Structure formats: C-alpha cells, structure tokens
Structure 1
Amino acid sequence: MARKHLAETILLILVLVYTVNFINANIDPSEVKILPVREQVLWTRGEADVHEYRIPVITSTVSGYLIAAVEARKYGSGDASNKFLAVRRSKDGGKNWEPQQFLLNDGPHVKDGVNLGAILTDRETGVVFINYITCGHNTDINCTASVHMINSTDEGYTWNEPVNLTKQIGNAPFAAGPGYGIQKQYAPHKGRLIICGHVHLTGSQCILSDNHGLTWRFNIQGVYTIPYNQTQKTGDFSPNECQMVELPDGSIMLNSRNQYHYHCSCRIVAMSYDGAETFPIPYISFDEALIEPACAAGLLYHQGIMFFTNPKNTKSREKLVLQWSFSNGTKWDNEYTLWPKLTAYSTLTAIPGYIAYEPYIYILYEKGSKEACESISLIIVSIDGSIL
C-alpha cells in the first residue's frame, strides 16, 4: 500500500511539473501580435571572398546564445562544389553577432564537398552538434557518401574534430534537414536526439541517438518514395528536405518538401507516435494550405503555437511568408509576409520558454532582389507585439 501511495505521489509531481512547464510555454491566441522588430544581414554574397552563402541553420544553446551556420560556397553556386562551413554566434538574443568562423575547409580540389544538414542542441549536456554530408551527389567517382558530426562543448566558441558516422549508419547519402534536430522533451523516449532528412531516391528518414550523440542509428521506418529507389519524375511521391517538431503529447510531426508535386504543390506531413522510430502510412497526409514551389521550409513549435515559413508560391521561390497555427497545424490561423521578393530556404528557432516567458522567434532565410540567394538575413519577430 505504501508503495502504491509513493507511486501515485511521484506521478502527481510529474504531472504538476509537466503542467507548469506547459502553461509557462504557452501564449493565449488573443495575445498574439506578430511584429518584426529587427532584421540584420549575417552573410552577403562575395563577402570574405566567398562566392555565395547558402543553406541557413540556427539553434539556441542552453545559455540562450544563438548559433547560426551556413555553407560558404567558395567558387560557385552549385550544391556539389568546394565549401567551408561558416558559423556565427550571438550572446545577446540576436542583437549583435561575433565574427564568423570558417570550419571544415574541404580543399581546392574536392568536386563534391561539404553539404550542411542540421544543427542540434542537447539541452541536458549543453553540447551543440552540426551534422553534414560529404560526397552526397555522386559527382565524384573517387569518393563515397559519408555522414559526419562536429560538436562544440562550449556553446559554439570552439569546435571539436568531426566524427565520421559511416561505421554506425553506413554510407547511404543521408542529407539531413536542412534545419535543426530536436531532443525529445516528453515520453516516449524522452531525451532522445533526432535528426531527420532524406536519402536520394528512397525518401525521408531519421537518425536517432539515445546516448547524447555518442552513437547514432537509422530509425525503423521512414516516409518512402513511390516508386521506391528508382528514377523519379514529376507527379511521383517523393518526400525530400524536411523539418520535424515535437508536440506536447510527445508525438513527432515531420513536414517535408514535396519534390515532384504529388497530389498538390503543397507540403507532405507525417506523424510518429514512437519517438520517430516509425512514420506509419495511415499518418501521412498533405497540408494543402501550405503551398510550395518545392523548397526547404521552416517549422517551429513555440509557446503553444506552430510557426511555418516558406516561399508561399506554387511556381517560383518568392514571397517569404510566416504562418501560424493554434491547433498544431490542423488549421493555419493567419500569416505575415516577411519579404515580398525572391527567397529560398528558411529556418526558425527560439530560446525555450520553459521557465521564463520568451516572446521572440528567430527566422534565418535566403534573401534577394534579383536572385534568391544574394544574402542570408535574420529577422527577429515578436509574437506578442513586444519591442526589444
């Protein structure tokens, strides 16, 4: 009997802790007022003798710092080309940014260099991970696709030597994100690290770690292409670049690029209820409100609201729009145009409001007037009208 009462007491404490966190992390829909309060270009084409900067990713650290990373494409615009990884850090909520660091110089003779995948903060250990792939485009017969992880144990001040994950996950051309990985905050598999992406010709899949990034493995079942592992064409089902979020019930929502416009020029959505181990077919759908020209997009769940960014256009990459939902994406309640001209990839982050109320989200995106990738810009958006 004593053990029963003890178990009930522990359960009650856990419920109360969860409830307090949940309340602190939400904002009443009536209080939402979207207001861009600051915008700053972090990278510009040609800066530091780099031809072009692309593929923005961003995360917040356990101390509330922001870390942004991009591909620094040295000599050309191609996905398969020579690159650095460029990283910048802000310690004051995005107001000021430290000079960029260049990491992972892949050398002048590499034909198929570094492609940035996802950034991830382990909020239990404080370690920040950046995932990337090399030789992912099959353009160089002298190299084989391999997935790597680089990490920082001091919130982006310094970075450790990369780890090649080939022995753990094989040499499948797994291209993460681009965007951010997550650490599960709720059961099942609380604490698990998850990075989702796609494998050429086979569809969306995730890599998982249950030991704080020491080892990684593929999940059991992804969202697979139709036809599977074959050359694809317009009209085929082909989930591609993706971003996932965890919802308060512990489920995972995976929102993917619809590469060949199967069913619609809109996003593919898949749900997992077992910590991203599987994405069963009955839980795969299309969000016809989220139209797209086939492009990477941003997704974030913060303060009880789901946010989404992409070029809201079925034909071309232009007009970056922020949409938000109070019902976990079952309906999109409103939208705000952030940039009316050319744009491409975007990503979002926030400083978690588990304890204190945090009214800002951070949107990092590719921006241009004549071409979509002339710069990488950061917009700080207040979600309740607060001014910095």
Structure 2
Amino acid sequence: MPSRVRARLRAALVAAVATTATAATLGPAESQPARTAPLFEQQVLFKASQDPGYACFRIPAIVKTKDGTLLAFAEGRVLNCGDSADIDIVLKRSTDGGRTWGPLQVVNEGNGDTHGNPAPIVDHETGRILLAETYNTGRTDSGSCSVPCDRTPHLQYSDDDGRTWSQPRDLSPQILPADWNSWYATGPVHGIQLTKGKHAGRLVFGVNTETWDGSRVSANHAALIVSDDGGDNWRVGATDSWPISAADGTFRQKPSEVTLTERADGRILISGREQDGTDLGHRSQTYSSDGGDSFTGPFRDQPDLYTPQVQGATLRLGNRILLSAPGDPDRRRTMMIRSSYDSGETWESVDRGKVVTTDWSGYSDMAEIDASTVGLMYEGGAVDARDEIRFARFDEDWLGPRRGPDPTTPDLAIG
C-alpha cells in the first residue's frame, strides 16, 4: 500500500476515534440543547393605511401588565400629522408577548381637541394600569398649539388588563402649579413603580412644562410626578427649573420628555431630550436618590451621547440599561439601542450601538417581555419617521456582549 494512502487512512481513523469520543462524552444529539439564533423580528403596528379613520399615528408608549399583556398606546391623529389638531389616544393589546396584536381601540377620544402624550404606568401590587395624558384645544390645521398653550394633565385607569378604561379626570388641581401656565406635557413614555427602599410601591412619571410671563416663555421645568396611594392622589416631586437668558432669549439647558429607570441600587435615572439649550449635547440626565422627591443635581448634557432632538426611552435589562433613540446627530434617522453598563453613568457610542433600522425614525418606548427579551415600539418609515409605528422584539443575544476597548497605538513622537 503506498505510503500516501496509508497516511490518509491513519488520518481518517484518528478523526473517527475523536468523533466517537466526543459523542460519548456529550451523549446523544437529542439530549443537547438546540442552539438558537439571536432574536430580532418586527412588524408594523399602527399605520394609516391599515387602521382606517386616522391620517397619522405618532407618540408610542408601551407597558407590560401584571398579567403579562403588552399594551401599546399611540396618538391617533384624525385630520393630519400635526401636533395640535383632533387627536385620540388609541391602544392595541397583545397577550402573546408581541407576536400578534388585537384590533385598535380608542381609549380617549379627542372630539376635535388634542388628547395625547400617553404615559402609562402599571401598579404591580393591584394590577391597575394608569394612563396620564395631556389635553389642549384642537386646531383644524397642522399648526402648533398657540403660545401660551392651554395644556392640562388628565388621568384614567383600567382594572381589567386594558380592555376597558375609566372616564378621565383632570389632575390640574394636584399637579399643575399656577406658574406652569404654558406648555405642559406628560411623558410621553411609560412611567415606573419603584421596587426598592422606603418608597417601594410609589408610582412616578415625568413631565416637562413652561412658564409664560405675559409676553414670552420665561422658564422651563422638568419634573417628576409621584403617587403613594396607587394613583388616587398625585403631587409634584423633584423639579429642575431653568430661566431664560434675559440678554439673548436662550436657555442654557431645556430638558424635556424625560424617561425614568430604577437602577439596581434604587436610584432613579432620569434621561431627557435636550431642546435648544446652549450647552453641548442632545440628551441630558440627572438622578434621584429619594424616590423622586428631589434630584441629586440639575440636568447635565451628555456631549458624547449623539442623538437628534427627539424623545427617547430607557429600560433596565439585566446588568445593563438600554436607551432607544435615533443615532444620527442631525436627523431623526437610524433607530439604535445603546447600552450602559454602569447604571447610566456612561453610554455606548454610536459605533457600538445596535442598529434597529437605517430608515427615518423618531419617538420610541420599550417594555421588558421577559428576563432576556425586549419589546421596542418606535416611529419609523422609508420616507418619513411619521410613516408608521413599528413593534420589534429582540433579545440580549441580538444586542451582543459588551465590547472591549478599542486597540490604541502608543504615541512615540519625540517632544
């Protein structure tokens, strides 16, 4: 037998023995757990062409109820895509983790006015779902609300897992101070229930508001609204106010549309859209160490956290906190999930974030489906970020592990 053939036979025998040994060690193939691919799937949730009666859908918000149902809220804009026309708050429910969704239901009908800015909160002790929202007088065109804007906060609730809803009640006597007399906005993003410390069980959501001095907007306020009795009574908690500059009419900081996450240590991370402030950065944040009664300091810009001026959402998932927001610093485009591994102190840069879509994209919200799966609800479109509202399901495997530091080249220059 030629030596070349003998060598091939020996190699084949060694390989066969190795394969047999491995199989014996691991056991039958059917006893091994199947390896699954990372999960990412998405679908269109709200779109004018599939949901008759509306010209446009915007402002997504999502929560998971105590019974595990996903409730996806949006503004159903009747006449056009403007912010201040005839707007209803609408809802779709999913009882299978976001795989399928029920029909559209109207939770709050505008009847010609603007009823929007949904901010849902789940009370996991009672199962009640509370929905904060904001009203203003509607327009018939696509223009913005006239300044000063007659915005007022309201609240309704569901005790049957989102199937039916109470009549709304006006919260102005409790959470609308006299000098917050122009713009006022609840959320728009889910609120939270605290789980740690002496304030465990407290319900918290965010608002941003403005003061009108008779001739112009003179101050901006970002605040937390809290309830310690399951939503029967509310009060204004932590507040960060920034006056307008008398000299040039600008704000140094103008935080708005805040999103809240309870950190593992019980502190609340408050991350907000930065709207036209002169400090560098498009998002700003602060913390609360006393359950939302006060902030640890004023909002500060995050210069390295690139986003356009847009609402975003945060959610804690295992050992990381996620941020959903477009990653393009200039335009509402490229929806992205970025992670923080130190409770919001620092964030992944845009080159490390996970891209959901390179389409136009805008407002978003997230809910935890299970311990490793997230539901993302976001505005998106091939032509305009307001084309439709999509729902994506993804898991931690799709996000990927934390990436190590990039390699560096030592500076060997002399002098």
TM-score calculated relative to the size of structure 1: 0.82
> Do the aligned partners of 1:310 and 1:346 also contact (CA within 8 Å) in 2?
yes
Query: Which residue of 2 is the match for residue 312 of structure 1?
Result: 327
Work out whether 1:127 is the aligned partner of 2:99: no
Decide whether aligned partners of structure 1 residues 106 and 241 sit closer, same or farther in structure 2, where only a CA change above 3 A counts.
same
Secondary structure in 1 aligned to 2:287? strand
Work out whether 1:166 is the aligned partner of 2:172: yes
Query: Which residue of 2 is the match for residue 30 of structure 1?
Result: none
Amino acid paired to 2:190 = Y
Amino acid paired to 2:170 = N
- Give ranges in structure 2 of 5+ residues lacking alignment: 1-35, 138-143, 211-218, 400-415
Deviations 1:46-81 (A, max 9, x none): 431201000000000011110000000000111111
Decide whether aligned partners of structure 1 residues 176 and 262 sit closer, same or farther in structure 2, where only a CA change above 3 A counts.
same
Point out 4+ residue stretches in structure 1 off by more than 6 angstroms.
228-231
Question: Structure 1 CA distance, aligned partners of 2:207 and 2:151?
Answer: 15
Query: Which residue of 2 is the match for residue 49 of structure 1?
Result: 53
> Do the aligned partners of 2:64 and 2:71 also contact (CA within 8 Å) in 1?
yes
Question: Structure 2 CA distance, aligned partners of 1:146 and 1:231?
Answer: 29
Q: Deviation at 1:304?
A: 2.3
> Do the aligned partners of 1:240 and 1:259 also contact (CA within 8 Å) in 2?
yes
Deviations 1:333-375 (A, max 9, x none): 5411101021110111113x6xxxx210011000011111100
Question: Structure 2 CA distance, aligned partners of 1:257 and 1:373?
Answer: 18
**Bigger Rg, which one:** 2
Question: Structure 2 CA distance, aligned partners of 1:140 and 1:276?
Answer: 29
Q: Deviation at 1:206?
A: 1.2
Deviations 1:21-66 (A, max 9, x none): xxxxxxxxxxxx9944220111113431201000000000011110
Secondary structure in 2 aligned to 1:384? helix
Secondary structure in 2 aligned to 1:224? strand
Q: How does 1:197-346 map to 2 (within 5 A)?
A: 197-200=207-210, 201-219=219-237, 221-227=238-244, 233=250, 236-281=252-297, 284-333=299-348, 334-346=352-364
Work out whether 1:382 is the aligned partner of 2:383: no
Aligned length: 342
Deviations 1:182-230 (A, max 9, x none): 00000141111001120124221011100000111111x4122242899
Higher RCO by CA contacts (8 Å cutoff, separation 6 or greater): 1
Question: Structure 2 CA distance, aligned partners of 1:126 and 1:34?
Answer: 34
Superposition CA RMSD, Å: 2.4
| Residue in structure 2 matching 1:92, options 79, 96, 100 | 96
Query: Which residue of 2 is the match for residue 175 of structure 1?
Result: 185
Decide whether aligned partners of structure 1 residues 317 and 368 sit closer, same or farther in structure 2, where only a CA change above 3 A counts.
same
Q: Deviation at 1:271?
A: 0.8
Amino acid paired to 1:90 = S
Decide whether aligned partners of structure 1 residues 107 and 140 sit closer, same or farther in structure 2, where only a CA change above 3 A counts.
farther
Q: Deviation at 1:160?
A: 1.1
Question: Structure 2 CA distance, aligned partners of 1:329 and 1:123?
Answer: 25
Deviations 1:150-189 (A, max 9, x none): 1100110111111211222236453121111000000141
Query: Which residue of 1 is the match for residue 70 of structure 2?
Result: 66
> Do the aligned partners of 1:148 and 1:162 also contact (CA within 8 Å) in 2?
yes
Of all paired residues, the percent bearing the same amino acid is 25
Secondary structure in 2 aligned to 1:289? coil
Secondary structure in 2 aligned to 1:167? helix
Decide whether aligned partners of structure 1 residues 346 and 231 sit closer, same or farther in structure 2, where only a CA change above 3 A counts.
farther
> Do the aligned partners of 2:365 and 2:376 also contact (CA within 8 Å) in 1?
yes
Question: Structure 2 CA distance, aligned partners of 1:88 and 1:314?
Answer: 31
Q: How does 1:349-368 map to 2 (within 5 A)?
A: 349-351=367-369, 358-368=371-381
Work out whether 1:185 is the aligned partner of 2:186: no
Q: Deviation at 1:385?
A: 5.1
Secondary structure in 1 aligned to 2:165? coil
Q: Deviation at 1:308?
A: 0.6
Q: Deviation at 1:327?
A: 1.5
Question: Structure 2 CA distance, aligned partners of 1:115 and 1:384?
Answer: 35
Q: Deviation at 1:135?
A: 1.5
> Do the aligned partners of 1:56 and 1:347 also contact (CA within 8 Å) in 2?
yes
Question: Structure 1 CA distance, aligned partners of 2:243 and 2:37?
Answer: 39
